[in-house]
Structure 1
């Protein structure tokens, strides 16, 4: 599944107000980071991920790996922050950033 331009526009608007939930540093995508990422995507659907890596190529590689391993989609990547989305079949209306900001 891919996102339409309208969905991306809407998600970027929502994501503008979000703070990064997961931070990835020099150790990369460890099991703990992937577990926290999975929990955050289940709860919030749309999250920001901060990448504390110096090189642009390293950040791009980590984002690609992150999306593949967590089955999420990249909405936007600006500098050291990525906005990712994964649909939850049964989202919690109190936690889902999509439902909270669209209401």
Structure 2
């Protein structure tokens, strides 16, 4: 499977999202094994955009092999860190919003929650549908995301 190609504007948007991420996969001294490729594929399915840390070997060669085998796109390569993106949607594009910024939206997901009912009863599992604009708290409640605050200076610009 060939690697994906991205335009420079798409790559720039994804690079800005990479800054907040931490490495999720480490490639050690044994190199790029099938188990490592499988773990990278699992992480890409879960997150779309991941960072990989290479401890030994040639990071650029590993990046090319990963992108070819998983049909993913290389976003950034700095030293021993690789940023790789693989879209979950079928059309391999980023979705755009009305303000000319590009964002990736997560689909609704079903989450299993186990709550303790009392000390003598068994915990009762149940499933909840969590939308992309919602988050799950540690006690099992669903909260909607708050609107992002805009500075007074920007509010004044948008009113004109």
Shorter-chain TM-score bucket reads 0.7 to 0.9
In structure 2, the gaps of 5 or more residues are 91-104, 110-131, 134-147, 149-160
Alignment of 1:34-45 (within 5 A): 34-45=37-48
- CA drift of 1:94 comes to 7.4
Q: CA deviation at 1:2?
A: 1.6
Unaligned runs of 5+ in 1: none
Distance in 1, matches of 2:108 and 2:55, equals 29
SS of the residue aligned with 1:41?
helix
Q: TM-score, normalised by structure 2?
A: 0.53
The reply to whether residue 23 of structure 1 matches residue 26 of structure 2 is: yes
2:50 aligned partner: 47
Runs of 4+ aligned structure 1 residues displaced above 6 Å come to none
| Count of matched residue positions in the alignment of Structure 1 and Structure 2 | 95
Highest relative contact order (Cα 8 Å, sep 6+), 1 or 2?
Answer: 1
Tell me, yes or no, if structure 1 residue 7 matches structure 2 residue 18: no
8 Å Cα contact 2:59-2:81 kept in structure 1: no
Q: Which residue of 2 aligns with 1:67?
A: 67
Distance 2:36 2:107 in 1: 25
Moved more, 63-72 or 75-84: 63-72
